Amino acid sequence: MIAPILQYIDVVKSYGEGELQTRALTDVSLTINAGEFIAIMGPSGCGKSTLLHLAGGLEDATAGRVLVNGADISTMSGAEKAKLRRQEVGYIFQKLNLIPSLTAIENVMLPLELDRVSKSEARERARVVISDLGLTHNLNRYPSEFSGGQQQRIAIARSLVANRSLLLADEPTGALDTVNADEIIEILAQLPKKYNTSVVLVTHEPRFASWADRVVFLRDGRIISETQSSAVVEG
Amino acid sequence: MSLASRIAVREVRKRKGRTALVAVLVALPLVAILMMSTYLKTTNLSSEQQFAREFGTATASFDGFGYLPSDKQTMIREVITRNLGDNVGMETYTSWWRPLLLDSTSVNEQKRGKYIRIEERTSDPQIRKSVVSLIGGHWATRSNEVAISESLAKTWKLKVGENLTLEMPRLSLKVVGLVRTHYQLKDNVIFSSANSGLEVANIRTNASLLVQSDTPITAQKLHEITQVEQKILASDGDLEALIAGARLPGSNLAVALPAVSWLAVLTVIAFAVMSIVISAAFATSARRQLTTVGQLSANGASASLIQRALALQGAWSGLVGILLATVVTVVLLTFSRSQMESLAGYSIPALRLPTTEYVLASVIAIFASVGAAWLPSRTAAQTSVLNALAGRRGEAPVRRSLLPAGLLLFGSGVGLEFLVALGVQNSEGQSSPFLVAGSIGGLLILAGVCCMGPVIVSLFHFIGEKSSGEGRLMARGLSRNRSRSSAVVVSIATFTGLGIAVAMGASSREVLYDNSYIPRNVVEVSSSKCSETYGGLPFECTPRRADGEFEDAVKKVLQANGNVKQVSLDYAVANGVDPDFFASDFGKVEGELLTENILIANPTILEILQMSKRDLKEFNDVGIVFAIDPELKRIYDPTNVQGDFNTLSVPLAQGIFQYPMHQLQDDAQSWGRWRILMTEKRAKEGGFTIFKDSARLFIGEKNLSESQLVQLSFLRSIAAESQPVVYDDQGALPRPGTDFAYSDVMPPISQNSVHAFIAGSLLVLVLLIVAIGLSLMASEGKDERDILLAIGAAPTTMSKLAGLRALWLSAVGIAIAIPVAVIPMVVVLKAGADPGTDPVDVPWSLFALLGGVPLVAYIAARTTSAIVQIVRPIHVSNAQFE
């Protein structure tokens, strides 16, 4: 039996209080297994990003439990959540993924350095991962000197460098052209097989969702359906 | 309202945090300057006002010494009436100063002994009604009653109806009235009737006759009256009641307004420094306004319009600051009148508001604020449309011209300060041009540092390469946000540099040389017996012990500080000294040192003197030493520096006899009173007469307190009373008899205390600047913080990052400050020093203390960040994810 890497159990997430309270997620239960590639789709404001934020402890659930590798995030301290993001859960966002004052390789090295890995080892491991993703030259340049696609590859490399088991990608292709977007999705799709990393991809694009093993549809904070990706393409 | 102005107003209203910060930064110096201006204007009295403050409604004051006998008062009044008519008011008052010691344990030892002004007064003054007024009880009408000033009542914790019991002199008086001394609120005054027991025969008294006349008194008329008065007083040879002079309102020169020009300079400098910090706020904000800039550009706004819109935010924020300063100043002025009176020391009838200074300082504040906004606006306005729309800021490399320009400005400033120092040394009192030139020099130095700041901050880039993790993030972040980082660094460097400069100025060896005329824990009690031949100078005096009661009294005074050591002193006097030599020049003739009383050395004296080993060896070899160390010689008697202190010349009747003498080469606890010290052996060899046990030395465990000084002064005045007072046309002659030698000069504040105070003040300022800098970074660095949060940076990482930023910003600022302050100060001090002297005293202890400031900043920033994260856990900002 494959162990679940991420589990949402009856999760509720609300913002605000009293009459102004807004439900972002309502009774969401979802299990993602190790090495699985899941796509989450739905209209704007349906709670897709919130679902990802809860998985890395960026936000806390109002009710229910979120388990990463069996550990309940709601019981974790701030430092433990940070450690979780450093070692288990990686994020890729649509934009502003890289720290502009650090070079490409320094951005990738950063999680390792924060984990007190030696500088030389961090540099070597970063170089290997970046190379795997097809970037080999000019790694000492700053993010602004790279194209959007290259910047996302660097961000993916940073997520992979610490051997994280879960990668959460929040519309990573939103700011990219078609060619670059396809390349990024292809890279993400290869990660489960290549690194045994589970990937959760939030996207509006059925075309990208078709790369996933499963597609979860959200509406108004609830999971309304869960299908195999082929169904999305056919649909 | 123009488009640029309208946008500026909207941004000022929208960015409340920044507006508040800029307003506070503008308001702080403005409030300080307005308060200072108000105080200076209010207390900068005209000569008429000063006269009225002291003499009330008098139109002339005749000041004299000694008592004015009633018969002579009548005669003088007649003279005045004859000259000024019948309608003349006259009032006489007599006062004198004397030490008094309270017999009370409810007041601490420091406050028991005070120098008190005694004024004879038994009724309300007519002419001085506004100067001295009774606010409780009544005036003393009996000899055992007194009224006291508010200040004395507070110091000695006395109320009306209580007894004022004195230990010295042994006297008990009843306090019957409380008096406000409007002319000098802090005056310790006792108002007594005649024969209160507070009189001292040989203490000089001041008698004043105040005249109030409707007829204007001219200086000529005053002179005529004075001449007649002097004749009256001198008619029976009563020299004790000499008229010292007469004063009219306006006869004193009015205090000019140099303080105001200082204030103008201070205003410019304060706002120049403050504008650096304000500039950092606008630099941060310009980055956050890039989207607005992009929208404007995309819609066809010119770069100049955008720049105007950004720079005008400085004007509007400055206006808010001025408004804030005005409100705060009005509130402070409303409640600070008593503090101002306390500071001024006298009652202030009405505050004089500094309207001109207010307008001037406000204009400078607006200029500073606009300038601070204009600098970062240039870069923002030139950002390309797409970059601006995307919120990307172009980071141009550091301009090559900045370093040479900075060095040139710095060098010019130092050069100007050098010229100013030379000019001041050779000038004759004209300070204003030098003040302005010196300030321009200071501003040039500041401008130089501002230019070099970004260059120095850009070096953080390389630190980033050598470090990892938080260290790299810190270094690269500071380097990337060059404008903001350099503003923080330059602000710290400026304040620290000012502190170092003050320390260097204050620690010049002349000011802090802690060596008094006599050690501060020592009292010498001596006496002398002199011939009565007043006609033929000099007195022929021989040293001898003082009366035992005085020695006992001194010992008792010193015992308050613990054990008292007592040493007997022997003096040597040359035989057959030619008195004519001393008649012509007692001290020095053509560079030769002549004899006077010579002290015979003993182990205690040598212990106190603390000669260096080499000086002690020389003294033992030679047998005679000129016991004043080089520094004391330079400070107390600079004219003697060139003298020959290697020879002791004794002018005997048969000719000058010379002895080889050693002069101290090193600093010691020297003693101006004993200029020459001799071994007993040498004295005998030289044929000197030795007077055994001629004086006593009492050595306390601690330095003399103010109270002990008062007691000694009192004993001295008692001793003086027993001596005849002799006057000639030069004044009072020196009196032979019992005397005490002790140092009544308060010791200078120690260098370490000065440095600790400066370091403490700088620590507060540095922490404040770093706090502002880190707040600006926090507001700008939300994106970076979100990314760090997402990749798993722990709360400790965040706080460590804040700590490292504080550490490096303050460390670099302080490191810049050291050369920036030391170089000009060395140049200025050397230029203004006497030839052959070394006035430069590098404040190493201050540097050591400043070394701890970055560490404190690190701990403070890290702790604050950790606490803030506990109170308000960091959440990912919506901008990142939504």
- Per-residue pLDDT 10s for chain A (235 aa) are 566 899 999 999 988 777 778 888 999 999 998 889 999 998 888 888 888 888 888 888 999 999 998 899 888 887 888 888 888 888 888 775 788 778 899 889 888 888 888 888 999 999 988 888 888 778 888 888 888 888 888 988 888 888 888 999 988 887 778 888 888 888 888 888 888 889 999 988 888 888 888 999 999 889 998 887 655 555 4
Least confident of A14-18, A31-35, B525-529, B843-847: B525-529
Residue predicted with more confidence, B838 or B697: B697
Specify the pairing of strand A198-202 against strand A37-41.
parallel
- Between B795-831 and B482-506, two packed helices, what is the crossing angle to 10 degrees? 40
Would you say residue B233 has pLDDT above 80?
no
Least confident of B80-84, B329-333, B456-460: B80-84
Burial A37-75 (b: 16+ CB within 10 A, else e): bbbbbbeeebbbbbbbbbbbbbbebbebebbbeeeebee
Q: Which candidate in A48, A68, A80, A114 is best for mutational testing of the B interface (most B CBs within 10 A)? A: A114
Q: What is the pLDDT of residue A6?
A: 92
Query: Dmax of chain B from CA atoms?
Result: 110
Q: Give the tens place of pLDDT for each residue, B136-164.
A: 999 999 989 999 999 999 999 999 999 99
Q: What is the pLDDT of residue B729?
A: 43
Confidence category of residue B597, pLDDT binned at 50, 70, 90? low
Q: Give the tens place of pLDDT for each residue, B455-496.
A: 998 888 888 888 888 888 889 888 888 878 888 899 899 889
Percent of chain B topping pLDDT 70: 78
Residues of chain B positioned with their CB less than 8 A from the CB of A97: 787
Chain B touched by A98 (CB under 8 Å): yes
Least confident of A202-206, B4-8, B67-71, B703-707: B67-71
CB within 8 Å: A59 and B875: yes
Q: What is the pLDDT of residue B202?
A: 57
User: Which residue of chain A has the CA closest to B784?
Assistant: A99
Number of residues assigned to chain B: 882
Mean pLDDT of B776-781: 71
Q: Which candidate in A101, A109, A110, A120 is best for mutational testing of the B interface (most B CBs within 10 A)? A: A101
Q: Which candidate in A49, A99, A140 is best for mutational testing of the B interface (most B CBs within 10 A)? A: A99
B35 with B332: CB under 8 angstroms? yes
- Supply the mean pLDDT for chain A: 85
Residues of chain B positioned with their CB less than 8 A from the CB of A116: 469
Mean pLDDT of B862-877: 79
Q: What is the pLDDT of residue B396?
A: 67
Chain A touched by B797 (CB under 8 Å): yes
> Which amino acid, residue A104?
A
Mean pLDDT of B789-802: 85
Would you say residue B85 has pLDDT above 80?
no
Three-class SS state of B655: strand
Q: What is the pLDDT of residue B154?
A: 92
Confidence category of residue B362, pLDDT binned at 50, 70, 90? very high
**DSSP conformational letter for B173:** E
Question: Residues with Cβ < 8 Å from B790, sequence gap 6 or more?
Answer: A56, A58, A85, A91, A93, B876
Q: What is the pLDDT of residue B203?
A: 60
Q: What is the pLDDT of residue B250?
A: 62
* A 116-155 near B (Cβ less than 8 A): 116, 119, 122, 144
- Measure in Å the smallest separation between the Cα of A88 and chain B Cα atoms: 9
Detail the DSSP E strand segments found in A97-171.
166-170
Q: What is the pLDDT of residue B525?
A: 86
B612 with B666: CB under 8 angstroms? yes
| pTM tops 0.80 | no
Would you say residue B652 has pLDDT above 80?
no
* Distance set, CA B343 to CA B14, B107, B347 (Å): 42, 24, 10
Least confident of B288-297, B598-607, B691-700, B792-801: B288-297
Q: What is the pLDDT of residue B588?
A: 46
Would you say residue B730 has pLDDT above 60?
no
Mean pLDDT of B547-561: 83
Q: What is the pLDDT of residue B879?
A: 37
How many CB atoms lie under 10 A from the CB of residue B665?
13
Confidence category of residue B240, pLDDT binned at 50, 70, 90? very low
Confidence category of residue B318, pLDDT binned at 50, 70, 90? very high
Q: What is the pLDDT of residue A198?
A: 92
Q: What is the pLDDT of residue B535?
A: 46
Report the residue from B464, B468, B786 with minimal CB separation from A119: B468
Question: Residues with Cβ < 8 Å from B286, sequence gap 6 or more?
Answer: B293, B310, B376, B377, B379, B380
Rounded Cα gap, residues B631 and B640, in angstroms: 12
Mean pLDDT of B187-209: 80
Highest mean pLDDT among A85-99, B55-69, B173-187, B424-438: B173-187
Would you say residue B856 has pLDDT above 50?
yes
Chain A touched by B95 (CB under 8 Å): no
Report the residue from A56, A82, A90 with minimal CB separation from B793: A82
Q: What is the pLDDT of residue B385?
A: 67
Q: What is the pLDDT of residue B374?
A: 84
Q: Give the tens place of pLDDT for each residue, B162-184.
A: 999 988 788 899 999 999 998 88
Q: What is the pLDDT of residue B534?
A: 43
Q: Give the tens place of pLDDT for each residue, B6-55.
A: 888 888 888 888 888 889 989 988 998 899 888 888 888 777 888 888 88
Mean pLDDT of B232-259: 55
Percent of chain B topping pLDDT 90: 16
Least confident of B371-380, B439-448, B511-520: B511-520
B676 with B625: CB under 8 angstroms? yes
Would you say residue B257 has pLDDT above 60?
no
- Measure in Å the smallest separation between the Cα of A186 and chain B Cα atoms: 22
Question: Residues with Cβ < 8 Å from B337, sequence gap 6 or more?
Answer: B348, B351
Least confident of A13-22, B319-328, B831-840: B831-840
Chain B touched by A96 (CB under 8 Å): yes
Q: What is the pLDDT of residue B727?
A: 45
Determine if residue B161 is left, alpha or beta; phi over 0 gives left, psi from -120 to 50 gives alpha, anything else beta.
left
Would you say residue B734 has pLDDT above 50?
no
Report the residue from A82, A97, A158 with minimal CB separation from B795: A82
CA dihedral B235, B237, B240, B242 (to 10 degrees): 40
Q: What is the pLDDT of residue B736?
A: 53
Q: What is the pLDDT of residue B255?
A: 44
Confidence category of residue B882, pLDDT binned at 50, 70, 90? very low
Q: What is the pLDDT of residue B421?
A: 82
Look up residue B225 and give its two tokens: 């009256």
Residue predicted with more confidence, B874 or A140: A140
Cis previous bond, A111, omega within 30: no
Q: What is the pLDDT of residue B392?
A: 65
Would you say residue B243 has pLDDT above 60?
no
